[in-house]
Structure 1
Amino acid sequence: MPEIPLDAVDRKMLVELQLDGRMTNSQLSDKIGLSPSPCLRRLKQLEADGVITRYVALVDPDQLGLGVTAFVRVRLDQQDDRHLTIFEEAVAQFPEVMECYLMSGDADYQLRLIVENLKAFENFLRHKLTRIEGVSQLTTSFALRPVVYKTALPI
């Protein structure tokens, strides 16, 4: 159950904005069948409630020469709060880390990295990731190509 109750109009609005976050309020109101003033009020309320957290541009990594996506599973030698905090604060500073999840199972964390090439990946491992206190084991898989990549949540 969501924290903020959303009606059908809110959901429709979120679907449309996930497809095009740059549309004008007028365009959005036309798409969801609501006049501009109440549409804008609802939009501002969704932002104030934290349902909409920010607006971004999605950039093609290949166009920037960032052709290698790696998934790295990380085990720490200790899983106490201090070591978890040290790791989480460190990886949050690395621009190569696109996502980081605390995991259940055989790894403590799963990272998704994007880098230029394998040399850049090796440098990241040697000079950043393995230097974090408590990192004891890394397992890496490389993405060959994306099959499904979505940014829109299923609403």
Structure 2
Amino acid sequence: MQLDRIDRRILIKLQHNNRIANIDLAAEVGLSPPACLKRVKRLRDEGVIVGDKSLLNPELIGNKLTLIVSVEMDRDRGDIYQQFRKSVMQTPEVTQCYQISGSYDFMLIVCVADIQTYETFVERSLRSDFNIRKFHTAVCMRTVKFSTEYHFAE
């Protein structure tokens, strides 16, 4: 799908505030409200916009600990990777998962209340998976930047 200048402006505005009224969004991007609504619908229908979420402050809901976990699988096989991806999708402590290249196969972002909760996660999700060769955990000391917004190259 080709995104034109107006599509990109709509997406930038919606990334910043997806609760903006259509009439206000239309005015900010220079369209009539019906034309703007039609474009937003097309962006949703074509899968450019995949959802609308409320971003939560993890500390205020009790998830005070963020960990970055690198996972190396025992063997380089598609079925093993698929099984791991499926299990990660069912694991609420994992907020992000990336299949990566390099020394490790997956990078997980894990958010939990405390180290004991993380230990429970490790026993249940990592140590019980016999296809995992090893994993390495880094504890986040401070969040320097967190964004869900994507930049558009001009």
Structure 2 residue 107 is the aligned partner of structure 1 residue 138: no
How far does the alpha carbon of each residue in 1:47-68 deviate from its partner, in whole angstroms, 9 at most, with x for none?
Answer: 1111111111111111101010
CA contact (8 A) 1:70 1:141 kept: yes
Structure 1 gaps of 5+ residues are: none
Residue matched to 1:31: 28
| 2:68 pairs with 1:71 | yes
- The CA RMSD measured in Å over matched residues stands at 0.9
Pick aligned residue for 1:113 from 110, 114, 119: 110
Once the two structures are superposed, the pairs formed by residues 50-69 of structure 1 within 5 Å of their partners are 50-69=47-66
Secondary structure of 2:67's aligned partner: strand
Instruction: Give the number of equivalent residue pairs.
Output: 152
In structure 2, stretches of 5+ residues that fail to align are: none
How big is the shift at 1:119?
0.6
The answer as to 2:149 corresponding to 1:152 is yes
Tell me which of 36, 44, 60 is aligned to 1:47. Answer: 44
TM-score normalised by L of structure 1: 0.95
Aligned residues of 1:74 and 1:137 also touching (Cα < 8 A)? yes
Contact 1:87–1:133 (Cα < 8 Å) also in 2: no
Report the Cα distance in structure 2 between the residues aligned to 1:37 and 1:88, rounded to whole angstroms.
Answer: 41
Superposition TM-score, scaled by structure 2 size: 0.95
Whether contact under 8 Å (1:83, 1:133) holds in the other structure is no
From 96, 99, 107, the equivalent of 1:99 is 96
AA partner of residue 113 (structure 1): V
1:88 aligns with one of 48, 66, 85 = 85
Identity %: 32
Tell me how far apart the structure 2 counterparts of residues 37 and 59 of structure 1 sit (CA, whole Å).
32
Whole-angstrom CA distance in 2 between matches of 1:7 and 1:58: 28
Which 4+ residue blocks in structure 1 deviate beyond 6 angstroms?
A: none
Equivalent in the alignment of 1:14:
11
Tell me which amino acid in the other structure corresponds to 2:150. L
- What amino acid sits opposite 1:58 in the alignment? L
The letter for the 2-side match of 1:22 is R
Aligned counterparts of 1:74 and 1:106: Cα–Cα separation in 2: 9
Q: Which amino acid in 2 is paired with 1:109? A: F
